[in-house]
Chain A
């Protein structure tokens, strides 16, 4: 995205504040994507990814979109290396029934919410090519050609996989007891002071 362009230019010159801006912009999506590949090891793989980005960003050429594509590519390679070392296959996380809160009555039910982790778990439970396509598009913010570059596929194949993924998600939502609303989760690990601020915002 173009919003990263200025920070990228300055980070390449060695400005660490700008590098921190890039980290904050891209890391959440990277972590959520990697979690679909390596589950609880996603933090470690993401850290390895950023070490490489920090080392090589001076020689990087491209804008904000290309940066996201590059970071996703590095992250995916790191995840695959990690899986090879661990000699296991990418994770497939089943959606736990318990993640859907049970509503006490119809009125409460309309306000029941499920957050980011449950949403990601549902996407991760898709067949892997669909999960990766959806996550790279929705969470990493890549377009279809860029996601294709990350995955080594054509853009059309990524579109098809993501489309099938969305249909499967819609099917799951329709036939499951999933609540109507989803909440954009505010950080539940925040301090009391922060909670107050959020209430003020809300």
Chain B
């Protein structure tokens, strides 16, 4: 057998694997697909342990951007990129009859694997929860905003700046609860428009909406 095609692995197939775009189905050994997917698996928590120190250093070099000039991006974080997912999908579905299907059950999906325990957050807002101390000015604004009675929050001067930073008025609550480290319970995104239904008086509703 031609050595270059042993294991169903010629240069073109190799390039597909290296680029994270294996053919479907791939002629490559599913174990190799699996190995590459495991190597490129999403971040493990310990691998991000230095984030606080690194961001502190960043802050030293870029002091006090008080308010972001544009809405905060908060894109979905793909920690190791889509590569492991694609490789895993190919390893799982591209080759029949091999026990790679076990792969599928372990796939965390395209989002990050880690998460800050105890601080759930709305997935549509961001998959990134600030884990370290945010810029003092924004944190202060959020703290002040959260301390206001719900009905009065959105008339505060902080609200416009927070809406800009959060990427929209309806995201301020999630943004601030996330920044301030307050565990956010499922509830209205914006306390200002919280419905005052039966047994749900304004003050009480807002109070539960921000815990």
Contacts from A to B (Cβ < 8 Å): 1, 3, 6-7, 10-11, 13-21, 23-25, 27-29, 31-32, 43, 46-47, 50-51, 54-55, 57-58, 109-111, 113-116, 118-120, 122-123, 134-135, 137-139, 141, 143-144, 159, 162-163, 166-167, 169-171, 173-174, 178-187, 189-191, 193-194, 197-198, 201-202
Contact = CB atoms under 8 A, between A and B. Distances in A.
A118 B48 contact: no
A54 B61 CA distance: 7
Interface in B102-150: 102-103, 105-109, 112-115, 117-118, 128, 130-132, 134-135
A31 B47 contact: yes
A137 B18 contact: yes
Contact of A23 (B29, B39, B48): B48
A175 to B, nearest CB: 11
Interface of B: 6-7, 9, 11, 14-15, 17-20, 28-32, 34-51, 53-55, 57-63, 65, 68-70, 72-81, 83-84, 88, 91, 98-100, 102-103, 105-109, 112-115, 117-118, 128, 130-132, 134-135
Given A24-B112, A137-B18, A170-B32, A181 B58 contact: no
Nearest to A183: B106
A122 B44 contact: no
**Majority secondary structure of chain A interface residues (helix, strand, loop or mixed):** helix
